Structure 1
Amino acid sequence: MLKKTLLLLLLFFFAITNAQKTRGKAELSEAKINLDEGWKFHFGNSANSEKDFNYGNKLLFHKSNVFEATIVSPKFVDSTWTKVDVPHDWVVELPFVKSATHEMDSHGYKPVGGLYPETSIGWYRKRFSIDKKDEGKRFEIQFDGVYRNAAIWVNGFYVGTNFSGYVGKSYDITDYMNFESGNVIVVRVDATQSEGWFYEGAGIYRHVWLNIRNNVHIPEDGVFVHSTVNGKNASVTIETEVENKNLTSSKGTIYSYVTDRNGKQIAKTSEQNFTLSVNGKTTVKQKIALNNATLWSLENPYLYKVVSVIKQNNQIVDKKKVNFGIKTVRFDANEGFFLNGKHIKIQGTNNHQDHAGIGSALPDFMQYYRIKLLKEMGSNAYRTSHNAPTPELLDACDSLGMLVLDEQRLLNSSPEYIDQFQRLLRRDRNHASVFLWSIGNEEQNIQGNEYGKRIAQSLLAIQKELDPTRTSTYAADMGNDFKGVNEVIPIRGFNYRQFAVADYHRDHPNQPLLGTEMGSTVTTRGIYEKDSIRAYVPDQDITAPWWASKAEDWWKLAAENKYWLGGFVWTGFDYRGEPTPYKWPNINSHFGILDVCGFPKNIYYYYKSWWTNEDILHISPHWNWPDKIGKPIDVWVNTNADDVELFLNGKSLGKKVMPRNSHLQWQVTYEPGTLEAIAYKKGKKLTTKVETTGQASKVIVSPDKTVMLADGKDGTVINVSFQDANGKEIPDANNKIYFSISGDAKIIGVGNGDPSSHEADKCGDGMWQRSAFSGKCQVIIQAGKTPGIIKLEAKANGLVSASTTIQIK
């Protein structure tokens, strides 16, 4: 177990470090310049035009360029605006507001949406300069994700509006560039309408880039790499788009080469000629044979690189680097799922994209942190419910070995949503981790009728056109129903309805079946009694909503029937919004296997017992119950051992055989001391215990990593716990922690996993603090750009403080 954990940590460190180094090189060779830093931000107002910088009163669209003193003009004075860097989520910084409206509880009781005009419009401004030597090249502004309905101006010229809050968009701004006095980007973000029924945040919450290209170039997402495998060899097909933006026809050559993961060139195509008319485009297909190819797998997520190169007059004018993996995927209606010919049960989780302390604006390192936690649990697949993910999430899954079910936001074939789907497919189809597409989720009004069928057919045709190497599913909350979308979808997806799967397989034996949403046990970490006042539910697999199931109810069916491809639990992490089964004061969900900070709940050990081959033995609850002496305590043991014997203060409470894909329970009369479990797994002895502790005596800080890159973007998660005077961890401590930091780094968020906590995630006064919940809390820090040593200190009244040092280099 220790060896496997160390290997995973090494893989995690290699992946994120290599990804950051690769990204830096790509920015240089492909002129991809990051524009995240140095933005100005100010709220507008959706109900009062004067408070919205006269957006509704001024004529911003009657001329091509507006140089009068409007909000979009480069002359507009924004010196009093708030300085921010993106990714930025303004909603996570807002206070919680009690409201009876469904929209508010779905979005975590944050004041955003149509009822809150003062905090639902955000304006961003960014100044940047371009060297005059680059005049004559093509310039493109790329937004990876803005939530939502983002209108964009450059130097007073309107360039476009991206309706989607999840799929990024790029705009050619060549005609509007100023090489003398600098440039100004203005973005108006309108979050008055929501796209989901969960916390979505608001703002420019993903990266922004400036792409500089030659007039003859490879457009964004213009390289598509796919492969076929024959024994130990692979045939790699590289489809490269070339575009001519010169005012005359242009000629050139294109070639591609493949490197190994370390950048060593191992194969190359010949140069192929092309001729393009004005505004002409072509796609050049080239093949490369790789002998003894290394396949991308969950255990060895090996990534090759393709570099496509355009030459004119024997000079390189553009090149594009793409990571890719070589693998085979097969879905069998009777035998299940196969990766590289090996049968694998899909052990997946659904997840929204927010995290404690930082909302939806996750720095890149947080994507790797979260995927690492899921892999440690034994999960091998991630569904991006219910929207296009940030590209860095897919980078993390590519690098760490996590399959991805990549999902379209809406089952709709209008031009807007077709455009969104096309952008999603083109952007993500090179990612090795993506093994399946989803064309939508739970469209109850149309999924079972002819509307749904026809829309599904239209989306499936687009998927096959842009990515014929994969197939699709749809997340249907339907039972044994073969109508609408289910008639045409290649992989039948089940949201819950787990007991209908067997009947559906009997009636439709040739259609593979996947649990797209399963489980949904609601639990609160460290709480063992229902508490309707504080909105807590017990931390065991005993409570699920009427439409869902407990973990054991679905996983036994999936694990023991080959025709199940597997499934995705709702959810891996708790998320803000959609509180269930309570409303206020509860501000986030209870569905997670881990809480919003990533701290494991007890159900984590159930899944880890049956999703890994590690030796798992876990007792719950803790053993601090001074008010229950002489009263019965319901004790659970999660393990994959063969049998377990439980002891209280050395006295045996009986031995029990461990049923596969289940758990064990004892009723134990409480007395302080030590509750110990001794188990045997194939003759190997396993032990674990929980003990009664004293009061908290000192603070303990545990950084996820102790070395960060001095790039202004890297960071780390530091988890906080407590010990008593004897060094025992305190499971029920709730002390308030005060954080301070020295050196070139900053705190960007705090959390504790309490689903009813109304403490601030962002401490605007700079006095960073958070109360512990069930013995834990968390602080997230981000590095600056100066190499050196930083120090984080955590203090609590009456306790020995703790500190940790982290190197920035």
Structure 2
Amino acid sequence: MHSAVIDRWAFRLGDERGASAKGFDDAAWRRVRVPHDWSVEQPFAEEHSSGTGYLPGGIGWYRAHVPFTAAPGQHVRLVFHGVYRDAEVWVNGYHLGARPSGFARFSFDLTEIASYAPDDDLVIAVRVSRLETADSRWFNGTGLNRRVELEVHEPVHLREHGTVVTTERADVAEAVVRVVQRIANDTDAAVVVAVRHELRSLSTDRSHAFEAEVTVPARTEAIAVAVVTIADPELWTDTDPRLHRLTSTLSWTTDGAAQRAEYTEIVGIRTIRFDPDHGFSVNGERRVLRGVCLHDDGGPFGTAVPADVWLRRLLTLREMGANAVRMAHNPHSPELYALCDVLGLFVIDEAFDEWENPKNKWWQGHNVYPPKHDGPAREFPEWHERDLTAMVEAHRNHPSVIAWSIGNEVDYPNDPYAHPLFQESVGNNDAGKPAAERVYDPNRPDIRRLTTIAKRLGAIVRAADPTRPVTLAAAFPELSSRTGLLDDLDLVGYNYREARYAEDHARFPDKPFVGSETSHRYVDWLAVVRNEWVAGQFLWTGVDFLGETTLWPNHGSRAGLLTIAGFPKPGYHLRRSWWAEEPVAHVVLRPAGEDGDLREGRAVRGWNGRDPLQVLAFANGDEVELRWGDERIPLERDEEHGWWSAVATPRAEPLVLEIRRDGRTVARDEVRTAGPAERVEATAWRAPEHVASAVRAAGLPLDELLQVEVRLVDGAGEPAGDDRLVAVAVEGGELLGIESGDLADPTPYPSTERRTRDGRLIVFVRPAGSTAITLRAEGLDEVLIRDDSARFAG
């Protein structure tokens, strides 16, 4: 099988009569590289929906001319890994069909069309339509925002998603792996297909060979099953994610001539279990899921996020101690799952945010009435089975995926479902709602309907993959648990309902529980630590994201532990002191008396005045000592927030936090007074070589983007206490975007300048040959960066 990525396209924003025709002249159209999101190329504007980040949608066309030569009988397939949204596709002028979902992987069989002109280009035309920007509760972008591929197969080939790899049992001594394949025969004669598998470790190069054989009748398909027993297996876990490459070689004879086809799949050997009394385990060893929820945008990239950018984010979260991700609230890009495989991040994969009936879509500020009600509910009745099956089939060979979520907060009270059991219903996000929106209304859909749908969705999932549990993220189990919504689930997910864990564990003793979405409070983490039967928690969120915002000019959510630029917030370091195994010492300063969310506030590292400061010490050691110069500052343990704190008057000397174990210093943090910015420092972020090598070995090519982290420093090299406008110029490469993390800054993403936030921003550049990047900050000397350097300063 040969697969080619189609990444060069002609693009036009706006509708175009006749653009589907093969001979249409697109020479004047703009050339773009796919994945591509046109929404983030446009200005932010208050006229658009707050829920989707005050960015526009519209109609756009893409056209690609693909040189192509097909041998007689070859099977040709065009694959889209997701288009947001309402895509219509033509090839050589033939209308192949449409896909309303913005997240589903879909494909078209081009075998017949390609045979009409076997030595001619394939001309692919795609029309994308997103006329209503209030079509989601968060930003999803617009366009060909995921990879597009052209696959060419032999006449005898694997069906799409035709390989299923499962680990029947595994421990350190022995593992049993089963490979089931659906083999199609497009010829007019039956063939005997011999299948030879090689399972090769990407870590040690150890390999295991095993075989199968099957007769495939003409113009139909058959199932080939092979099982291998492996001694001393290299298992995939979160702490040591060993991956294997499965190479399957199909051999057969046609008219006396030997034929073959080869397929590869990256897999992991592992077993998982959710136990109602002992939580989650992998390969028989208990793990606590220390998870974060993620939306799939990346600041200036919109939802067309390069793997390099996700790698930087995920590694930063991994260093915090995270070992799990919930894909909120839709299937994500294929690169993200592959990275989770490599990095050892467990994944809860999620299909839908709404089912038959639409949720409220806030378009003029969060919880500002009236809402709008466009969105994916309109295609759910017709498309839910195909979309859900597509998610499971596409991702079931990823060892990182541990559960299938069929919905997020579909039971949110009065949004839109209700029931007379609760005459008044208050959800976790109801601040500011009119009273009429919180009382029972018999004209709303009955919540019992959700139980019927959940059973249907669960059956669809289990038909495609019976090895992982079916779950959903329940918002109002006070009601939905009494109307049957949880009954068919294999794993119960609760959003912000830790207070119900004990009661509902007793009510459903055969059900495992997980905090599918939780706040960042210490008490919510203790609800996991103190209850072995709770599998873990997934924080809302790991990274800030576009959309789901308040009033203009705010255009994103600050719920993350990382800013949208990928920089850690103070709450990141606090979480690290709870989750990380290694010793942690980190100091945060803020004005005395301030008591705000560490994800929202602008807590500082340095100081420049004499007013008393609150000192927050994040530490996980046995002995914690804080000193300001020679003076020891007494610390008090705050059990409500999970940190140590003190109030002190600043002085010129450094503030030092030390963690000791057995009398030995094991972690240390030092903060110095902050002065005005005097120069710019820039560091080109690169993944550790062993990580980059593992990513490439898993078949995921990195774009090798330059991700240049920029910060303003004072004369002593300490982070500066002010912000400046930074202009960026690139020679010999392409400036892809600048991000500061300030979600109240409506500077358009295509701009070549942006103001820092907390003295920092990041610049994304695609290098080409010899690339030079010039940074000019107001009142400071410019900095010149070349792509062959690792650190730059001016």
**Which TM-score band (shorter chain)?**
0.7 to 0.9
Task: Give the structure 1 partner of residue 393 of structure 2.
Answer: 426
Residue pair 1:446, 1:484 contacting (<8 A) in 2 also: no
Pairwise CA distance, 1:651: 2.5
**Does residue 656 of structure 2 align to residue 676 of structure 1?**
yes
SS of 2:683's partner is strand
Task: Give the structure 2 partner of residue 601 of structure 1.
Answer: 569
Pairwise CA distance, 1:125: 0.7
Render the CA deviation track for 1:462-496: whole Å, top value 9, x for unaligned: 22221121112100002443433212211110011
**Does residue 167 of structure 2 align to residue 227 of structure 1?**
yes
**Does residue 141 of structure 2 align to residue 141 of structure 1?**
no
**Does residue 183 of structure 2 align to residue 242 of structure 1?**
yes
Pairwise CA distance, 1:791: 3.4
Task: Give the structure 2 partner of residue 3 of structure 1.
Answer: none
Deviates more, 1:261-270 or 1:687-696: 261-270
Task: Give the structure 1 partner of residue 268 of structure 2.
Answer: 325
Which of 713, 716, 725 in structure 2 is aligned with 1:736? 725
SS of 1:220's partner is strand
Q: How does 1:24-43 map to 2 (within 5 A)?
A: 30-37=1-8, 39-43=9-13
Which of 271, 275, 280 in structure 1 is aligned with 2:216? 275
Change beyond 3 A, Cα 1:632–1:694: closer
Q: How does 1:146-295 map to 2 (within 5 A)?
A: 146-177=83-114, 178-193=117-132, 196-231=136-171, 232-261=173-202, 264=205, 266-278=207-219, 280-295=220-235
Distance 1:210 1:230 in 2: 36
Pairwise CA distance, 1:299: 1.8
Task: Give the structure 2 partner of residue 546 of structure 1.
Answer: none
Distance 1:562 1:661 in 2: 22
SS of 2:126's partner is strand
Distance 2:538 2:754 in 1: 32
Distance 2:635 2:162 in 1: 62
**Does residue 723 of structure 2 align to residue 780 of structure 1?**
no
Pairwise CA distance, 1:264: 4.8
Q: How does 1:84-483 map to 2 (within 5 A)?
A: 84-99=32-47, 104-112=49-57, 120-131=58-69, 134-177=71-114, 178-193=117-132, 196-231=136-171, 232-261=173-202, 264=205, 266-278=207-219, 280-313=220-253, 315-409=258-352, 410-411=354-355, 414-444=381-411, 445=416, 449-480=447-478, 481-483=481-483
Distance 1:352 1:300 in 2: 26
Task: Give the structure 2 partner of residue 636 of structure 1.
Answer: 616
Distance 1:568 1:623 in 2: 28
Render the CA deviation track for 1:421-463: whole Å, top value 9, x for unaligned: 1111111000011011111111124598432222211222222
Change beyond 3 A, Cα 1:131–1:736: same
Residue pair 1:88, 1:204 contacting (<8 A) in 2 also: yes
Deviates more, 1:304-313 or 1:640-649: 640-649
Distance 1:405 1:154 in 2: 35
Change beyond 3 A, Cα 1:496–1:180: same
Distance 2:605 2:408 in 1: 42
Residue pair 1:95, 1:110 contacting (<8 A) in 2 also: yes
Pairwise CA distance, 1:415: 4.4
Task: Give the structure 2 partner of residue 758 of structure 1.
Answer: 746
Q: How does 1:637-652 map to 2 (within 5 A)?
A: 637-652=617-632
Pairwise CA distance, 1:306: 1.5
Deviates more, 1:83-92 or 1:339-348: 339-348
Which of 734, 745, 757 in structure 2 is aligned with 1:746? 734
Render the CA deviation track for 1:750-771: whole Å, top value 9, x for unaligned: 10000101112223xxxx2221
Pairwise CA distance, 1:251: 4.2
Pairwise CA distance, 1:780: 1.2
Change beyond 3 A, Cα 1:511–1:711: closer
Render the CA deviation track for 1:762-797: whole Å, top value 9, x for unaligned: 23xxxx22211111000112244x5xx533332223
Distance 2:100 2:44 in 1: 27
Render the CA deviation track for 1:112-157: whole Å, top value 9, x for unaligned: 3xxxxxxx1111111111136x343121111111101100000100
Pairwise CA distance, 1:249: 4.4
Change beyond 3 A, Cα 1:736–1:187: same
Deviates more, 1:193-202 or 1:408-417: 408-417
Residue pair 2:656, 2:668 contacting (<8 A) in 1 also: yes
Task: Give the structure 2 partner of residue 499 of structure 1.
Answer: 499
Structure 1: stretches of 5+ with no match in the other structure: 1-29, 45-51, 55-69, 113-119, 520-549
Normalising by the residue count of structure 2, what TM-score does the alignment of the two structures yield? 0.84
SS of 2:386's partner is helix
Normalising by the residue count of structure 1, what TM-score does the alignment of the two structures yield? 0.82
Change beyond 3 A, Cα 1:634–1:311: same
SS of 1:269's partner is strand
Change beyond 3 A, Cα 1:291–1:699: same
Distance 2:535 2:503 in 1: 16
Residue pair 2:170, 2:283 contacting (<8 A) in 1 also: no
SS of 2:616's partner is strand
Task: Give the structure 2 partner of residue 662 of structure 1.
Answer: 642
Distance 1:428 1:669 in 2: 55
Pairwise CA distance, 1:569: 0.1
Change beyond 3 A, Cα 1:717–1:296: same
Pairwise CA distance, 1:624: 5.0
**Does residue 513 of structure 2 align to residue 513 of structure 1?**
yes
Pairwise CA distance, 1:395: 0.5
Give the structure, 1 or 2, with the largest relative contact order (CA under 8 Å, sep 6 or more).
2
Which of 507, 526, 542 in structure 2 is aligned with 1:556? 526
Distance 2:167 2:649 in 1: 61
Deviates more, 1:401-410 or 1:797-806: 797-806
Distance 1:369 1:327 in 2: 26
One-letter amino acid of the structure 2 residue matched with residue 639 of structure 1 = A
Deviates more, 1:568-577 or 1:460-469: 460-469
Structure 2: stretches of 5+ with no match in the other structure: 357-379, 420-446, 590-603, 790-794
Pairwise CA distance, 1:195: 5.2
SS of 1:277's partner is coil
Residue pair 2:86, 2:128 contacting (<8 A) in 1 also: yes
Pairwise CA distance, 1:414: 3.5
Distance 2:105 2:724 in 1: 42
Residue pair 2:36, 2:145 contacting (<8 A) in 1 also: yes
Distance 1:447 1:564 in 2: 28
What do you get for the CA RMSD once the two structures are aligned?
A: 2.4
Which of 783, 786, 792 in structure 1 is aligned with 2:773? 792
Distance 1:151 1:515 in 2: 38
Change beyond 3 A, Cα 1:244–1:414: farther
Q: How does 1:697-736 map to 2 (within 5 A)?
A: 697-705=678-686, 713-730=703-720, 732-736=721-725
Residue pair 1:263, 1:305 contacting (<8 A) in 2 also: no
One-letter amino acid of the structure 2 residue matched with residue 140 of structure 1 = R
Distance 1:139 1:284 in 2: 22
One-letter amino acid of the structure 1 residue matched with residue 290 of structure 2 = Q
Pairwise CA distance, 1:712: 9.1
One-letter amino acid of the structure 2 residue matched with residue 439 of structure 1 = I
Residue pair 2:607, 2:674 contacting (<8 A) in 1 also: no
Distance 1:487 1:32 in 2: 43
Change beyond 3 A, Cα 1:446–1:216: farther
Task: Give the structure 1 partner of residue 369 of structure 2.
Answer: none
SS of 2:642's partner is coil
Distance 1:684 1:509 in 2: 46
Distance 1:198 1:665 in 2: 36
**Does residue 754 of structure 2 align to residue 770 of structure 1?**
yes
Distance 2:102 2:180 in 1: 29
Task: Give the structure 1 partner of residue 554 of structure 2.
Answer: 586
Distance 2:203 2:718 in 1: 45
